[in-house]
Structure 1
Amino acid sequence: MTRSEQRSPALQGAAFGVSIFSFFALGWLGWGTGGHLPTAAQIALMVVAALVSVALAAYAWQRWRTTPAPPAPRTERRLSGRTFGLIIGSEWIALAIISGVLGGTGHPDPIPAVICAGVGLHFIPLARLFGVRAYYATAAVMCLLTVLTFILAPSNPALWTVLPGIGAAITLYATCLTLLTLDPQ
């Protein structure tokens, strides 16, 4: 394969990110709207969101397949799968422990907001690892959603799931769109 036939590693990373984030957005949307909408509306919303997630991922992979790597060699950050695994593993373990403690002590309502904060915080080391500055904005919005949830939800218990769920879904879909606009270099 010649240099002009090689594919952009940046676009491959963006395609992975879009695939992962769009399907987590679908999960967050289901969590945020579940039990708050009539069944038919919930099903319709989730079908549309699933189609959007599939379309975003398909477009990201198509973009990677059809865009050659930049002709000029560029210093590429060598990504460490081990570092990525440590970030994700630490996030999941911490959130499982915190959620277990909250649920075990009779405080399950804030679990979605706490998970939203944990997901947001994990974007900070990912921003540095992958060199994607937009992840800092994703982190900030997810953490802001948590703060808003803790402020507003005590007066309306439905907001414990609605705010972090719908907010995280919108944030992750917006992150997908941002990744799709990245320069392939």
Structure 2
Amino acid sequence: MNDKSQLIPAVAVKGIATGLLMMAGFTMIWTGIAFSGLHGTVQAWGLIVFPFLAISFVIKGIKLFGIAKLHPAIESEADKAEGKKMGMWFGIIFGAEGLLIFIAVNVVVNLGHPELTIPAIALVVGLHFFPLAKVFKRTLDYYLATWSTIIAVLAIVFSLNHTLTQAGVAAFTGGGLAVATSCYGLFMMYKGNRLNSY
């Protein structure tokens, strides 16, 4: 264990590991949605990169959980307080996201547009990155929030003006959000490599 790892608490390493596992799951969900729209087409092969990325996120996440025990369990009181505050806000945002997804889906269905379900979910997902950016003080979240929100809004527009079929909307939305979650996962891998450069 090097001097750098002695300064990094285990909870920080486990946090990145957990994030990697979450991004692996979300990447596969959005890839599945994209695949449902592209099923049976040559373009579906373009999605193969996402499962490989998801697998690499899982492998790195498991590795980081193993490495975490080489790091000290102790944190400063300030770090503990900050961690509790971040955890509380993450829980609030995550809970609000779930509630807003439920509301958004019911709104589009009751308005007679069930085909907007996937874009509506994507819109909520995109918007939830904005408060996360503030909580975790990460600029990347603002980029991912903007990207995901634009993808969702375009998907809604393309669906309503019939630019894309329902399958096309699923492919467009799923692919766009899979790019976002993959970028997040790659960022976490980068952070994990910086924490553990051995």
The two structures have a TM-score, normalised by structure 2, of: 0.75
How far 1:9 sits from its partner (Å)?
Answer: 3.3
Unaligned runs of 5+ in 2: none
Q: C-alpha separation between the residues in 2 aligned to 1:134 and 1:36?
A: 29
Residue equivalent to 1:15: 17
The answer as to 2:13 corresponding to 1:30 is no
Q: C-alpha separation between the residues in 2 aligned to 1:169 and 1:123?
A: 14
The residue type paired with residue 62 of structure 2 is W
Q: C-alpha separation between the residues in 2 aligned to 1:14 and 1:132?
A: 13
The answer as to 2:189 corresponding to 1:180 is yes
Instruction: Answer with 161-170 or 46-55: which moved more.
Output: 46-55
Number of aligned positions between the proteins: 180
How far 1:64 sits from its partner (Å)?
Answer: 5.1
Residue equivalent to 1:63: 64
- Identity level (%): 23
1:57–1:18: structure 2 CA closer, same or farther, 3 Å change rule?
Answer: same
Could you tell me whether the CA contact under 8 Å between 2:17 and 2:65 is conserved in 1?
Answer: yes
1:9–1:136: structure 2 CA closer, same or farther, 3 Å change rule?
Answer: farther
Secondary structure of the corresponding residue to residue 55 of structure 1: helix
How far 1:36 sits from its partner (Å)?
Answer: 2.8
Secondary structure of the corresponding residue to residue 110 of structure 1: helix
Q: C-alpha separation between the residues in 2 aligned to 1:36 and 1:52?
A: 19
The residue type paired with residue 186 of structure 2 is L
Residue equivalent to 1:135: 141
The two structures have a TM-score, normalised by structure 1, of: 0.79
Unaligned runs of 5+ in 1: none
Higher helix residue share: 2
How far 1:23 sits from its partner (Å)?
Answer: 0.7
The residue type paired with residue 180 of structure 2 is T
How far 1:91 sits from its partner (Å)?
Answer: 1.0
Could you tell me whether the CA contact under 8 Å between 2:38 and 2:168 is conserved in 1?
Answer: no
How far 1:45 sits from its partner (Å)?
Answer: 8.2
Secondary structure of the corresponding residue to residue 115 of structure 2: coil
1:131–1:57: structure 2 CA closer, same or farther, 3 Å change rule?
Answer: farther
4+ residue segments displaced more than 4 Å: 5-8, 44-51, 67-70
Following superposition of structure 1 onto structure 2, how do residues 9-158 of structure 1 map, counting pairs within 5 Å?
A: 9-38=11-40, 49-50=50-51, 52-63=53-64, 65-66=66-67, 69=71, 76=79, 77-80=82-85, 81-153=87-159, 154-157=162-165, 158=167
Q: C-alpha separation between the residues in 2 aligned to 1:169 and 1:50?
A: 10
